[in-house]
């Protein structure tokens, strides 16, 4: 079990996807994504969601991001946040989103 203090250390915020590009250099199929996180600015992420999502359906989608991991170099791309999701029965990633629009940068609590 973790404590409430442990949970509070994880900074999960909502942001809107504002740019999506193909990422052909990635080892596994992925997109280069930019997420507007409000006061935190626009952050980059690499997301392996090509099985279920086309570029045009990702634009404007609000997603949940872990914002306090250290940046991670993925090939030539520096990922600054982790876009979260769940594996479905076919082991494909379904993005974690919000039920209704909330302000970018809002903290999950």
> What does the pLDDT look like over 40-92, one tens digit per residue?
999 999 999 999 999 999 999 999 999 999 999 999 999 999 999 999 999 99
Please report, for the chain, the start and end positions of each structural domain, with discontinuous segments joined by +. 10-95
Secondary structure of residue 4 in the 3-state scheme: helix
Q: Model confidence over 19-44: pLDDT tens digits? A: 999 999 998 999 999 999 999 999 99
Which CATH fold topology does 10-95 show? OB fold (Dihydrolipoamide Acetyltransferase, E2P) (2.40.50)
Cα within 13 Å of Cα(60), Cβ side: 2
The answer to whether 52 and 92 have CB atoms below 8 angstroms apart is yes
Looking at the whole model, is its pTM more than 0.75? yes
Which helix (H) or strand (E) covers residue 57, if one does?
helix 55-58
Secondary structure of residue 8 in the 3-state scheme: helix
């Amino acid at each position: 079990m973790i404590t409430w203090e442990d949970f509070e250390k994880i900074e999960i915020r909502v942001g809107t996807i504002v740019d999506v590009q193909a990422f052909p250099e990635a080892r596994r199929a992925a997109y280069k994504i930019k997420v507007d996180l409000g006061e935190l600015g626009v952050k980059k992420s690499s997301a392996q969601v090509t099985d279920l999502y086309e570029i045009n359906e990702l634009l404007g989608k609000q997603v949940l991001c872990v914002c306090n991991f250290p940046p991670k170099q993925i090939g030539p791309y520096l990922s600054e946040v982790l876009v979260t999701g769940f594996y479905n029965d076919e082991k494909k990633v379904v993005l974690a989103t919000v039920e209704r629009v909330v302000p970018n940068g809002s903290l999950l609590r």
